[in-house]
Structure 1
Amino acid sequence: MPANTTASSGTTGSAGGKTGRKKGRRARLIVIVLVLALVAGIGYGAFWSVSTVRASYPQTTGSIKLDGLDGNVDVKRDSYGIPQLYADSDADLFRAQGFVQAQDRFWEMDVRRHMTAGRLSEMFGSGQVETDSFLRTLGWRKVAQEEYDNVLSADTKKNLQAYADGVNAYLKGRDGKDISVEYAALGLTNDYKPAEWTPVDSVAWLKAMAWDLRGNMQDEIDRSLMTSRLDAKQIEDLYPPYPYKKHKPIVDGGAISSVTGKFDPDATPSSSGLGSDTVQGATEGVNTQLSSLSDTLDQIPALLGPNGSGIGSNSWVVSGDYTTTGKPLLANDPHLAPQLPSLWYQMGLHCREITAKCRYDTAGYTFSGMPGVIIGHNQDIAWGFTNLGADVTDLFLEKVSTDGYLYDGKVKPFTVRKETIKVAGGKSREITIRETNNGPLVSDRSSELEKVGQKAPVANAAPDRADGYAVALKWTALEPGKSMDAVFELNRAKDFPSFRKAAEHFEVPSQNLIYADTKGHIGYQAPGKIPVRLQGDGTMPSPGWSSAYGWKKDPVPFDELPYEYDPKRGYIVTANQAVIDEEKYSHLLTKDWGYGTRSQRISDLIESKIKGGGKISTEDMQKMQMDNTSEIAALLVPELMKINVSDKSVREAQKLLEGWDYTQEPDSAAAAYFNAVWRNILKLAFGDKLPKELRVEGECLNVPRADSSGPVDEQGKLVRECGRRDADTAQPDGGDRWYQVVADLMDDQNSDWWKSRASGRDEATENRDELFARAMEDARWELTAKLGKDITTWSWGRLHQLTLKNQTLGTEGPGLLQRILNRGPWDLGGGEAAVNATGWNAAGGYEVVWVPSMRMVVNLEDWDKSRWINLTGASGHAFSAHYTDQTDKWVNGELLGWSFGTNAVAKSTTDTLTLKP
């Protein structure tokens, strides 16, 4: 045991001895193979390996001495290893939280803090230098330090320090192998040792959250790239306006009052007067730069979800007037990247008695490395999050020279800083970071973008075409803020006013916050630091050399942001749809909302229950979370069934759609075929019409036609043969923006978008139905190649699989190590833009790339009747019983009981550990 701990319970010793450090690459590889074999439990060393691995497992019973505590803290874990902490002071509570999270997840915490600080190379070597360089340029850690030093409250800093002290108490006296098996593997290739945790390590994680939820930066780049080949009308076709009449926004009405100057849910809205001004002319001709920036962004770790559009979350709350309990029910399921362990960590933080010294009684989901609870409830209120999607980033094209950047006709010097990137097993690298008044030059981090200036914008864009151009990023998260204060304020909030006060400080990332309380009230608040632009609407990069552009000094005032409290309809739904009708609101939040497919489906399900005279139960909320209905299938299938198909094999597949109810269950052959048809419609209609900068190396979709003959593999599946059109296309991702694009084109049978070129034996298409027929044929042969000739064996789940991967060694390590650390696959139902949003990207295939990362249903009538589930489990230790012990239930749509009250927690407790001063 480490020097600072004593255990009253017994511990298991390790059999065998330590393997000495070997010198030389070959010797290290041999040791890796041996250790991995041992870890896998292979051969004579099985007992030794299991004992070694278990040495890093947390102690969960007995007692441990924890320096710095003022009193005892009880850590009660249920049968899933979920901890509930009981203390007598805030400091003890957060110190214990740091200790317990480090017990379960320190490897994950350590990797995260190195990522946010741009220090991954210190752990993983030279392959991470480019990522570190970009993250250093953004300066997440630098801004987090400024927040801690100058902005956050003294109370928040005390909590952060107590948390850090708890983490460091766990680390004291422990070697890497005592912390996690990953350190044992890492130690074979470098001499990395974990450093102490600091409060700023926790604060910086909020910057990673903000980055992945930053809004429309990729759309801004893509739209600009489209100008090289498409006209304004064509680009508008691909970015249609939000369908307010079809999909309701979050807030039904309201406006900024002319009397108070604040948002009033009951005020009568008028036309906002907001235009759709873009600055397209400023960036035409710089496609090389923007394309390279897009490639650079793709290399940055997407911790919360994949890059690109489509990702989102669901939350909704129903008033007690319409529930079986007579009090509100609140549901939430954020859609994030599937990772192992899950991004979320479940726990409860309880003061034995609420006093001025100990103010917390809360439970829910947090992140490893973050004190407090992010989503959940306390003794008085419950809350949930979804991404608001506000446009909080803008790209600025800068006119640069060696002396600086041009601004209003004068050259201003860059703000410059140098940083050193340390590299495990290699030579350190120094980088120079340049900033303008619009933010850091992100283009400096691309080898292609270092050559900017070889092309220039169109006429009148800049005074001197001969010099270079660079791209700067302006982003609200690069300014110090108070979001960490908001976490603790939410945890202590008791009513809607205190909830809104906490929300005011939740500046980045901008989130939709829903609310319910034990008195029966429900509510919504749109928070966030949202910029006010001088010109433009944020849909295109802007010219940085003119003061006519940029942002006003102050963001949208919090009092002018939309909210609702006890709306008459009796429920509130947020699922990344528009917050409020932009024609009736005087601030521009974004032009790039989610298109409301999921939100409207949830609203329809609630309305159907209410209008049918029924009451909504916890089980109903849970069932809604698993709704698999495909809106695009409901639109397209009736038209697909009208097409006369002559090919017998394709007709056989078409018949799968007869009588299909558009639900995407894992065993559904119809769902498999339809989604393949949808993917091929997108490919044929849009794939070869977009600029080359947006094209990707397409997956082979074509196989021999006619009689289904052709080469087969050992399983009897047809071997695919690429046609020339597959290798050079820009495949849309298939998100609900594309639902709206196609819906808007459906009535125009002869739109140019339905024309596709001939390829091999495929004839060109001239109208919608011809393209649909070809897509049906292509889909038949694609699935023949993937699933076999016999359509009775097809199922959506065989295509649509989830594999959980350890986000470091599970993706980049040796194959054997990946097999040890990773789990799956699982066959899933659901799909893109369904409520059960098991997302897939049509550009890459059908693999699940984002998921409901957790699900919860909170019962405001009785907290102990609430339910929750995590994607994986409480533990980050690969062989722990709690590594993925919730996953099978998650796959099946089950929820676990969620104990909160003292008696309920006591009944569900299986292990109790006492942390002592």
Structure 2
Amino acid sequence: MITGRRVLVAVGVAAGLGAAAVLLVCTASLPARDGALTLAGLRAPVAVGFDEYGVPMLSADSRLDAIRALGYVTAQDRLFQMDLLRRTSAGRLAEVFGEPALSIDLKQRRLGLSRVAEAVLRRLPEDQSALLTAYAEGVNAFLHQMTIPPFECLLLGYRPAPWEPTDSLLVVSAMFQMLNGSEGDERMRTVMTASLPAEVAAFLLPPLDHYTAQLLTGGTTKPSSMTVPVEALAALRRAGGQSRSLQVSLVPGRKRELGSNAWVVGGGKTEDGRAILANDMHLDLGVPNIWYRVQMRYGRIELAGVVVPGIPVVIAGSNGAVSWGLTNVEGDFLDLVRLELNPKNPDEYGTPDGWQAFTHRTETIAIKGGPDQMVEIRETRWGPVAEEPLLGGPVALRWTALDPEAVDLGLVRMDQARSVWDALAVATRAGAPPSNVLLADAEGHIAWTYMGRIPVRRGLDGSVSVSWADGRTGWTGFIPPDDLPRVIDPPAGYLVSANHRMT
């Protein structure tokens, strides 16, 4: 006869064994912190240590060996995060999350970021492509030696695929999307301009914000105030018979703005003549953090700073001679091109060279627990056709992140900079999400400039969607690096950036 007490004991033992098994599996995927490992591709031994916070400290003979080791230790600590970042950009979340992630995949496949990554890789300078290869070798060395994948992968029932050089570029694309990939403002302004009386639209959408107007007038006079269009606004109110809930639904939800802070003080304001730089980059909160701290020594180079898991570049940090920090640029690097369709053939759109047929590509999305889904995507000479029409018509997406000429890993050359002038040359030539770059060097000098490609527009300001069919509007390339604004050793002795306009 089995008593109730025996049953409870048996259940308790089983539960304890189950918990112990789960704990054993989870701890088995924790990263190694001591011992000797063989890493294929290394040209010489690399020493790896960790401080009390788990920050890796890598010492190698060459940059490529340091990057191989960085790939290995980053994968140890952040493999699931790295896989999630590349999957999000590539539109492959449904493979592991199933149908709930399909809508994200559809949007991402339309952008074609995997194809962009392949095109970028073909254009990269040899030293940058070698960097991506070395990083992938380090990640894959860990994957090969990994006995139990991260617990997130165990819960989802999959094992991450090998890392490719293009995967790092997909993570770069994820940063572009996070920082300046929103089309909501242009859609809003286009709808308001088309649907409101001209005087109301002009009042609600002034051509200049107060800050810019002050800059253009030299700060001596205030911009003239516009008369409130009382009658036009009252007429709109009288004509509006919608319910409050309907009125609210007409206003799209806006993506929360991301921003950062940074300041730098020149040597003239410090006790020992050295410059001071502080940087606090505010991005979406997540577990784990988007940033991964690292220290690297190779040759005569010593780097300390943060990287994004998956990208083998110190985004903000110091090499001992120069320090750099970033904040986001609240600029406009994306345009929605209104497409004029051929009334005789809706598969053609207007261009300066006449009617041109859409390019079609078909994407197959694998869905966990369900059948694959096929999606057909139309593309134009300016970019892919957006999923959502604008004012009832199709629009194409022209965005710097989709241009292979605007993406690279040029910031990696910051490790060689010995002065703010060297650093300015690196920053202004780097292809990355447009950012403010604040700099300080060991001689007490400070500087600011822009990083990333900024489009040169012809015939439009980018605030509303217009047609580019007649050739009078469009992009004519990017601002040359030497023409990007910069400030060096200002009289005030300091520089501050909180995502506002600096000049």
Shorter-chain TM-score: what band?
0.7 to 0.9
Aligned residue among 280, 287, 291 for 1:333: 280
Aligned residue among 163, 166, 174 for 2:135: 163
The structure-2 alpha-carbon separation of the partners of 1:425 and 1:548, relative to structure 1 and needing over 3 Å to count, comes to same
User: Aligned-pair distance for 1:237?
Assistant: 4.5
In 2: Cα distance, 1:120 partner to 1:378 partner:
37
Residue number in structure 2 paired with 1:558: 481
Residue number in structure 1 paired with 2:310: 369
In 2: Cα distance, 1:248 partner to 1:544 partner:
31
Q: Does 1:313 align with 2:283?
A: no
Pairing of 1:840-855 with structure 2 (within 5 A): none
Retained in 2: the 8 A contact 1:321–1:570?
Answer: yes
Q: Does 1:134 align with 2:107?
A: yes
In 2: Cα distance, 1:441 partner to 1:568 partner:
48
Pairing of 1:866-905 with structure 2 (within 5 A): none
Residue number in structure 2 paired with 1:439: 383
Residue number in structure 1 paired with 2:155: 185
In 1: Cα distance, 2:274 partner to 2:281 partner:
23
Report which stretch shifted further, 160-169 or 223-232.
223-232
**2:137 corresponds to which letter in structure 1?**
D
Retained in 1: the 8 A contact 2:428–2:450?
Answer: no
In 2: Cα distance, 1:144 partner to 1:566 partner:
38
Retained in 1: the 8 A contact 2:408–2:432?
Answer: no
In 1: Cα distance, 2:152 partner to 2:303 partner:
32
Aligned residue among 87, 100, 103 for 2:73: 100
Aligned residues: 459
User: Aligned-pair distance for 1:325?
Assistant: 3.8
User: Aligned-pair distance for 1:105?
Assistant: 0.4
Aligned residue among 419, 441, 444 for 1:517: 441
In 1: Cα distance, 2:212 partner to 2:109 partner:
44
Listed one character per residue, the Cα deviations across residues 159-193 of structure 1 (whole Å, up to 9, x for unaligned) are 11111001000001435xx1211111111xxxx33
Report the secondary structure of 1:491's partner residue.
helix
Report the secondary structure of 1:64's partner residue.
coil
Q: Does 1:211 align with 2:211?
A: no
User: Aligned-pair distance for 1:216?
Assistant: 6.3
In 1: Cα distance, 2:461 partner to 2:425 partner:
29
Percent identity, aligned pairs only?
A: 37
Residue number in structure 2 paired with 1:412: 356
**1:77 corresponds to which letter in structure 2?**
F
Aligned residue among 75, 79, 82 for 2:48: 75
The structure-2 alpha-carbon separation of the partners of 1:292 and 1:394, relative to structure 1 and needing over 3 Å to count, comes to farther
Aligned residue among 535, 539, 546 for 2:459: 535
Listed one character per residue, the Cα deviations across residues 93-145 of structure 1 (whole Å, up to 9, x for unaligned) are 11100000000000000111111111111121122222212111111121111
Report the secondary structure of 2:327's partner residue.
strand
In 2: Cα distance, 1:117 partner to 1:292 partner:
31
User: Aligned-pair distance for 1:405?
Assistant: 0.9
Calculate the TM-score normalised by the size of structure 2.
0.85
Calculate the TM-score normalised by the size of structure 1.
0.48
In 2: Cα distance, 1:397 partner to 1:246 partner:
29
User: Aligned-pair distance for 1:74?
Assistant: 1.5
Listed one character per residue, the Cα deviations across residues 213-258 of structure 1 (whole Å, up to 9, x for unaligned) are 2266321111122246544444454445333389889xx99xxxxx
Pairing of 1:598-613 with structure 2 (within 5 A): none
Retained in 2: the 8 A contact 1:103–1:179?
Answer: no
**1:197 corresponds to which letter in structure 2?**
W
The structure-2 alpha-carbon separation of the partners of 1:308 and 1:232, relative to structure 1 and needing over 3 Å to count, comes to farther
Q: Does 1:389 align with 2:333?
A: no
Retained in 2: the 8 A contact 1:153–1:485?
Answer: no
Aligned residue among 557, 570, 579 for 2:493: 570
In 2: Cα distance, 1:73 partner to 1:133 partner:
42
Report the secondary structure of 1:420's partner residue.
strand
Report the secondary structure of 1:63's partner residue.
coil
Retained in 1: the 8 A contact 2:433–2:451?
Answer: no
Retained in 2: the 8 A contact 1:483–1:505?
Answer: no
Retained in 2: the 8 A contact 1:438–1:544?
Answer: no
Pairing of 1:704-723 with structure 2 (within 5 A): none
In 1: Cα distance, 2:69 partner to 2:251 partner:
42
In 1: Cα distance, 2:419 partner to 2:204 partner:
43
Listed one character per residue, the Cα deviations across residues 619-676 of structure 1 (whole Å, up to 9, x for unaligned) are xxxxxxxxxxxxxxxxxxxxxxxxxxxxxxxxxxxxxxxxxxxxxxxxxxxxxxxxxx
Aligned residue among 164, 170, 189 for 1:198: 164
Aligned residue among 249, 252, 269 for 1:322: 269
The structure-2 alpha-carbon separation of the partners of 1:427 and 1:570, relative to structure 1 and needing over 3 Å to count, comes to same
Listed one character per residue, the Cα deviations across residues 67-87 of structure 1 (whole Å, up to 9, x for unaligned) are 222222121111111111111
In 1: Cα distance, 2:165 partner to 2:184 partner:
32
Report the secondary structure of 1:484's partner residue.
coil
Retained in 2: the 8 A contact 1:112–1:205?
Answer: yes
Report the secondary structure of 1:525's partner residue.
strand
User: Aligned-pair distance for 1:411?
Assistant: 2.1
Retained in 2: the 8 A contact 1:215–1:390?
Answer: no
Report the secondary structure of 2:478's partner residue.
coil
Retained in 2: the 8 A contact 1:393–1:475?
Answer: yes
Listed one character per residue, the Cα deviations across residues 584-639 of structure 1 (whole Å, up to 9, x for unaligned) are xxxxxxxxxxxxxxxxxxxxxxxxxxxxxxxxxxxxxxxxxxxxxxxxxxxxxxxx
User: Aligned-pair distance for 1:563?
Assistant: 0.3
The structure-2 alpha-carbon separation of the partners of 1:365 and 1:236, relative to structure 1 and needing over 3 Å to count, comes to farther
In 1: Cα distance, 2:215 partner to 2:282 partner:
21
Retained in 1: the 8 A contact 2:429–2:481?
Answer: no
**1:212 corresponds to which letter in structure 2?**
M
The structure-2 alpha-carbon separation of the partners of 1:294 and 1:59, relative to structure 1 and needing over 3 Å to count, comes to farther
Retained in 2: the 8 A contact 1:332–1:385?
Answer: yes
In 1: Cα distance, 2:324 partner to 2:137 partner:
29
Retained in 2: the 8 A contact 1:215–1:389?
Answer: no
Note the residue ranges of structure 2 that are not aligned, 5 or more in a row: 1-11, 220-247
In 2: Cα distance, 1:348 partner to 1:76 partner:
10
The structure-2 alpha-carbon separation of the partners of 1:113 and 1:121, relative to structure 1 and needing over 3 Å to count, comes to same
**1:575 corresponds to which letter in structure 2?**
A
**Which of the pair is proportionally richer in strand?**
2
**1:579 corresponds to which letter in structure 2?**
M
Pairing of 1:730-809 with structure 2 (within 5 A): none
Residue number in structure 2 paired with 1:589: none
**2:125 corresponds to which letter in structure 1?**
S
In 1: Cα distance, 2:251 partner to 2:16 partner:
48
Aligned residue among 409, 414, 417 for 1:485: 409
Listed one character per residue, the Cα deviations across residues 829-876 of structure 1 (whole Å, up to 9, x for unaligned) are xxxxxxxxxxxxxxxxxxxxxxxxxxxxxxxxxxxxxxxxxxxxxxxx
Retained in 2: the 8 A contact 1:511–1:528?
Answer: yes
In 1: Cα distance, 2:452 partner to 2:353 partner:
34
* CA root-mean-square deviation: 2.8
Retained in 1: the 8 A contact 2:261–2:498?
Answer: yes
User: Aligned-pair distance for 1:494?
Assistant: 1.6
Listed one character per residue, the Cα deviations across residues 750-794 of structure 1 (whole Å, up to 9, x for unaligned) are xxxxxxxxxxxxxxxxxxxxxxxxxxxxxxxxxxxxxxxxxxxxx
Larger gyration radius, structure 1 or structure 2: 1
Retained in 2: the 8 A contact 1:91–1:162?
Answer: yes
**2:114 corresponds to which letter in structure 1?**
R
Residue number in structure 2 paired with 1:87: 60
**1:141 corresponds to which letter in structure 2?**
S
In 2: Cα distance, 1:173 partner to 1:60 partner:
15
**2:59 corresponds to which letter in structure 1?**
Y
Report the secondary structure of 2:170's partner residue.
helix
Aligned residue among 268, 282, 291 for 1:344: 291
Residue number in structure 1 paired with 2:37: 64
